[in-house]
């Protein structure tokens, strides 16, 4: 049985705000050592799926550099293939993907090259550990045309998911795409699909001819297949998180510090690209005399001279003397000067915080420009931002990538405020 996996990694990920303003969402760093896409690729590796196509679109450079030819996940041999697939270029212009279904349809030549019996469609922005082979076996046993991975979610969260109603044997009896009211169940589709290849190509071809289609699996393909084809739901009870929002990204990073959460990088055998020569040449982490580290991840290249509590650091982070970092995610090569205080913040790569800076203090007011993104007290500092000595940043603040002294008001940024760079940034509210 031949299997091809299509990994959808082209979305902008605007709910992740400035974390994905200069990179594709699946390329966002996660957990102190990885990128989000590593988890889906590692699942495909363990299931020995031989052919993987990665459909990209939005700012793919860092993702392309990270994935390469899939060699870190064992895709360098003759009978295995992992390829980045940018939007198809026609004879006269480039056709950007119109939706998730269109992304697979445009890459049908890659898929059918291998004459597969089964096509898996996966997302590159989830944190989970799944045995795909168990789902495939279920699909084959039930002679299914389409099988969805399902998991129960709280009833109050059903509006965020495709909701599925199934019979006792797993047959799908009804499908609702993100119902705002009256969900038929609290069984959610996880965005992980197994298709009969020929049926999938037929349905995608039909959908491509519909001018009023959204060209989307959840809105178009799955509801039609539920009515016309054999569709089953396969229940998954393991750890799975959608990290598509600032809050869920922060929460999942914090769960990586809890051995009882079910998130265990080492047991899961998560692979990543370790080719970055700078990271590879880092010395082991150094904890200075008088420093204190508790319940935190501190990788190689880090220097801690202050206090770090319940936080995730990435390689090359420097925490100065007298500084305290709590409940935060600090990404690669960020320097936090002496006597700073950081609480419940996400600070992207290569930032510089001069002495006596404070981030995450004051009244808990929702972000004024984007209350939908920042409303749980988390403040975010974008890649390469430079904060002058004594700068105070409140809660639910957003400091855009590349912000420097010239962009900042003197003294403080009150809770709920957003600061833009005078040079501009790709993300706008």
For 393-407, write each residue's pLDDT tens digit.
Answer: 999 999 999 999 888
> Would you state the pLDDT for residue 63?
86
Could you tell me whether strands 126-128 and 240-242 are parallel, antiparallel, or unpaired per DSSP bridges?
antiparallel
pLDDT at residue 134 greater than cutoff 50: yes
What mean pLDDT do residues 111-120 have? Answer: 96
Residue 12's pLDDT band (cuts 50, 70, 90): low
> Would you state the pLDDT for residue 160?
86
Residues of the chain with CATH 2.160.10.10: 278-419
Looking up tokens 């913040």 gives 345
pLDDT at residue 323 greater than cutoff 60: yes
Task: Name the CATH code of domain 3-255 (choices 3.50.50.60, 1.10.3720.10, 3.40.50.2000, 3.90.550.10).
Answer: 3.90.550.10
What mean pLDDT do residues 121-129 have? Answer: 93
Task: Give CATH superfamily name and number for 278-419.
Answer: Hexapeptide repeat proteins (2.160.10.10)
Residues of the chain with CATH 3.90.550.10: 3-255
User: What does the CA dihedral 199, 202, 203, 204 come to, rounded to 10 degrees?
Assistant: 120
Burial status of residue 86 (CB atoms within 10 A of its CB: 0-12, 13-18, 19 or more): middle
CB 161 within 8 A of CB 150: no
> Would you state the pLDDT for residue 92?
40
What mean pLDDT do residues 300-322 have? Answer: 97
Residue 88's pLDDT band (cuts 50, 70, 90): low
What pTM was estimated for this model as a whole?
0.92
Looking up tokens 């082991």 gives 284
pLDDT higher at 282 or 132: 132
For 210-249, write each residue's pLDDT tens digit.
Answer: 989 999 998 899 999 999 999 999 999 999 999 988 999 9
pLDDT at residue 149 greater than cutoff 90: yes
pLDDT higher at 344 or 64: 344
* CB contact set of 414 (below 8 Å; sequence gap of 6+): 362, 365, 394
| DSSP secondary structure string for all residues of 295-320 | S-B--TT-EESSEEES-EE-TT-EE-
pLDDT higher at 250 or 96: 250
Measured CA to CA, the distance from residue 59 to residue 26 in angstroms comes to 11
Summarize the chain as % helix, strand, coil (round to 5).
25, 25, 50
CB 414 within 8 A of CB 362: yes
């Amino acid at each position: 049985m031949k299997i091809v996996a299509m990994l959808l990694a082209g979305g902008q990920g605007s709910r992740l705000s400035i974390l994905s303003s200069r990179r594709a969402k699946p390329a966002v760093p996660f957990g102190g050592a990885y990128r989000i896409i590593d988890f889906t690729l590692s699942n495909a590796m363990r299931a020995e799926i031989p052919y993987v196509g990665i459909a990209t679109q939005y700012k793919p450079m860092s993702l392309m550099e990270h994935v390469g030819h899939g060699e870190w996940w064992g895709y360098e041999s003759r009978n295995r293939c992992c390829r980045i697939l940018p939007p198809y270029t026609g004879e006269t212009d480039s056709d950007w993907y119109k939706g998730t279904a269109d992304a697979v349809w445009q890459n049908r030549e890659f898929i059918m090259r291998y004459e597969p019996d089964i096509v898996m469609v996966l997302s590159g922005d989830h944190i989970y550990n799944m045995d795909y082979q168990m789902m495939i076996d279920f699909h084959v046993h039930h002679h299914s045309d389409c099988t969805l991975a399902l998991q129960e979610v709280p009833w109050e969260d059903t509006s965020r998911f495709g909701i599925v109603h199934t019979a006792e044997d797993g047959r799908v009896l009804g499908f609702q795409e993100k119902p705002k009211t009256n969900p038929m169940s609290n069984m959610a589709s996880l965005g992980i699909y197994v298709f009969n290849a020929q049926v999938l190509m037929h349905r995608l071809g039909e959908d491509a001819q519909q001018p009023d289609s959204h060209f989307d699996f959840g809105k178009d393909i799955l509801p039609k297949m539920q009515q016309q084809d054999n569709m089953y739901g396969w229940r998954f009870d393991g750890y799975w998180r959608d990290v598509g929002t600032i809050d869920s990204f922060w929460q999942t990073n914090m769960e990586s510090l809890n051995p009882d959460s079910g998130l265990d990088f080492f047991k899961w055998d998560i692979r990543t690209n370790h080719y970055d020569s700078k990271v590879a040449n880092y010395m082991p982490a150094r904890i200075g005399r008088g420093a204190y580290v508790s319940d935190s991840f501190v990788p190689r290249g880090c220097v801690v001279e202050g206090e770090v509590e319940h936080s995730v650091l990435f390689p090359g982070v420097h925490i100065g003397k007298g500084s305290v970092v709590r409940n935060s995610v600090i990404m690669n090569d960020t320097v936090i000067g002496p006597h700073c205080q950081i609480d419940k913040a996400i600070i992207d790569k290569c930032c510089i915080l001069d002495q006596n800076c404070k981030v995450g203090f004051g009244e808990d007011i929702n972000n004024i420009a984007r209350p939908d993104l920042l409303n749980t007290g988390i403040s975010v500092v974008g890649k390469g931002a430079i904060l002058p000595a004594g700068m105070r940043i409140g809660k639910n603040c957003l400091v855009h990538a590349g912000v420097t002294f010239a962009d900042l008001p003197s003294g403080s940024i009150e809770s709920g405020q957003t600061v833009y760079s005078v040079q501009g940034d790709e993300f706008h509210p």
